[in-house]
Amino acid sequence: MAKTKFPSLAVILLIMAITWMFSDLGYVDMDLPWVPIIVAIIAIGMIFNRFNE
């Protein structure tokens, strides 16, 4: 049985996206102008990791 990797980058991306969504909806009062940049960096990292396997 092969071990599967835990999708840690995907979980981080999901948490950041949910935080961003709650901020836009007004549930969380946060001023995070850098969230889209971090989400883009994580997505680029996931793409590079996918091709380096």
In a domain, 1, yes or no: no
Q: Is pLDDT of 15 > 60? A: yes
In a domain, 2, yes or no: no
pLDDT number for residue 51: 74
Q: Is pLDDT of 31 > 80? A: no
In a domain, 25, yes or no: yes
Question: Residue 13 in contact with residue 53, Cβ under 8 Å?
Answer: no
- At residue 3 the predicted structure's pLDDT band, cuts being 50, 70 and 90, is low
In a domain, 33, yes or no: yes
pLDDT number for residue 2: 55
Residues 6+ apart with CB under 8 A from 36: 20
pTM of the model: 0.54
Q: How many domains does the chain have?
A: 1
Q: Which domain holds residue 32?
A: 8-51
pLDDT number for residue 10: 75
